Each structure stands twice: as C-alpha cells, then as structure tokens.
Amino acid sequence: MAKLRKKSPSRSRYENGHPTVSARMPIDKRDRLVAVLARLNMTLAQLLIKFADEQEIITRPLAEARKQGFVEAKKIYAVYYPCKKCGQQMEINTPGEKLAAARYMVENGWSHKECPKDI
C-alpha cells in the first residue's frame, strides 16, 4: 500500500485559501455547461467567480436603493406625536395607535378637502 505524502506548507495554504466547489448534475446539463465554457473560453472557476461578482454588483445597489427609498418614504408619510410623559417624538405604527388616530379624526370631523361641507 502506498504511503500518502505529507503536503507542503505552501500547498496547505493554497488549498485552505482556495476550497473546492463541486456539484452533481445530469449528464446532458454538464455537457451543455462544458460547451458554454468552451465557447466562452473560460474555466468553470472563472465562470463562477464572474457570476458571483456580477450578482454582488446587481444586488448591492438594489438593497441600498430599497433602504434609501424606505427612509425617504418614511420622512414623507410617517406620522409622529409627542410622548405624554417625556415629549419625545413617537411614530404611529402599531394597530392600536392607528385605530386611536382614526377615531380622533372621525370624532373631530376630519374629511377630504374636496368633500362638500354640507354633507
């Protein structure tokens, strides 16, 4: 039985910094993948790295844009009221707070600007 050779330190560092990625797939899909790689003149590793980089470029701005849009919408549409005890601003966001605000508006005759006053 053959002895396993001990890996050199440089080989161990390389393998630790470059782990293996593998997947099982149907043979027809594998053949198509190999054909695409040949047409692109790329290795599977190059294709996966390129895909990961492109996905990061696509998804990061989307997440940032969503967050920015939420912050801007909150500035425009959020409703705040002062705390009775400390005076600090509180946002109306729980169902109970929304119900209380709706009741207040009904009780105090709030309506659309466009609605006739004599209804």
Report the alpha-carbon distance of residue 22 to residue 37 in Å, rounded.
16
CB 101 within 8 A of CB 79: yes
**Which of 26-30, 104-108, 114-118 bottoms out in mean pLDDT, i.e. has the lowest?**
114-118
Residue 86 lies in a domain: yes
CB atoms within 10 A of CB 106: 10
- Binned at pLDDT 50, 70 and 90, residue 119 comes out as low
**Residues 29, 55 share a domain:** yes
Structure tokens at 75: 């500035």
Residue range 53-63: mean pLDDT, rounded: 78
Residue 58 lies in a domain: yes
The closest alpha carbon to 81, from 95, 94, 71, 91, belongs to 91
Residue 1 lies in a domain: no
Residue 87 lies in a domain: yes
- Number of structural domains (the chain) is 2
Helix 27-40 with 44-77: angle, nearest 10 deg: 90
Residue 16 lies in a domain: no
Look at residue 110 in the predicted model and tell me its pLDDT. Answer: 86
The pTM assigned to this predicted structure is 0.43
Indicate if the pLDDT at residue 88 is higher than 80: yes
Report the alpha-carbon distance of residue 82 to residue 90 in Å, rounded.
6
Q: Which domain holds residue 88?
A: 79-111
**Residues 86, 68 share a domain:** no
